[in-house]
Amino acid sequence: MASIDLLSMHKLFLSNHIKPGGTVIDFTMGNGHDTAWLAEAVGENGHVYAFDIQPDAVAHTRRRLENADLIDRCTLILDSHENVCKYVSAPICAGVFNLGYLPGGDRTKTTQRASTAAAVNAALSLLEADGIILVAVYPGHTEGTLEGKMLDEMLSGLDRRIFSVSKLRIINSPTSPFFFAIEKH
């Protein structure tokens, strides 16, 4: 049975907005897959900032980037994504959130609505014209469901003259991951 591949769709949306030499943020680095892909996409002159609150995530990502010879394009930050503006002031062409828990890690440590809301608002303030923020939501657990509802309400209130917000969701599978794409005009 064929279904939509969330990660492939993410990359399709992102590739239309990431510029070689651009600055991007991986707001939830996890095991570093998105961080590495973003580092490739921005090229030698671009830069990726990546955030996570778990030391294991930073260690896994560092190893992945070192093995791919991409570490020099990245700044790995052991801190909550809500504190992004303490570290980044440059305009960004893209930002990625994969909410939930660290794959293979402690499932009790998940992203939380309050820090996610603050981080998404910060991302929007850093986003340059023709930039994009992608937020993947995993409603298979309680906090993921609540984060999705919170983001739906928050993002539906954005000024449509400044932002276009799309939501890609498999409607007959309510616990499947889905994502929001926020593009700035």
Cβ 76 vs Cβ 38: under 8 Å:
no
pTM of the model: 0.96
Mean pLDDT across 118-125:
98
pLDDT for 113: 97
CA atoms within 13 A on the CB side of 84: 33
pLDDT for 104: 84
Where do the domains of the chain lie, and which CATH numbers do they carry? 6-23+81-139+152-184 (3.40.50.150)
Q: pLDDT per residue over 126-164, tens digit each?
A: 999 999 999 999 998 899 999 999 999 999 999 999 999
Residue in 79, 81, 164, 94 with CA at minimum distance from that of residue 126: 94
Q: pLDDT per residue over 57-114, tens digit each?
A: 999 999 999 999 999 999 999 999 999 999 999 999 999 999 998 888 888 889 999 9
- The two tokens of residue 149 are 């509802």
Residue in 49, 46, 12, 20 with CA at minimum distance from that of residue 132: 12
pLDDT for 177: 92
CA atoms within 13 A on the CB side of 102: 20
How many other CB atoms sit within 10 Å of the CB of residue 131? 24
Q: Cα(147)–Cα(99) distance, rounded to whole angstroms? A: 8
Cα distances (angstroms) measured from residue 85 to each of 10, 22, 71, 121:
24, 17, 21, 10
Q: How confident is the model at residue 1 (pLDDT cuts 50, 70, 90)?
A: very low
Q: Cα(173)–Cα(185) distance, rounded to whole angstroms? A: 31
Mean pLDDT across 34-62:
97
pLDDT for 3: 64
pLDDT for 61: 98
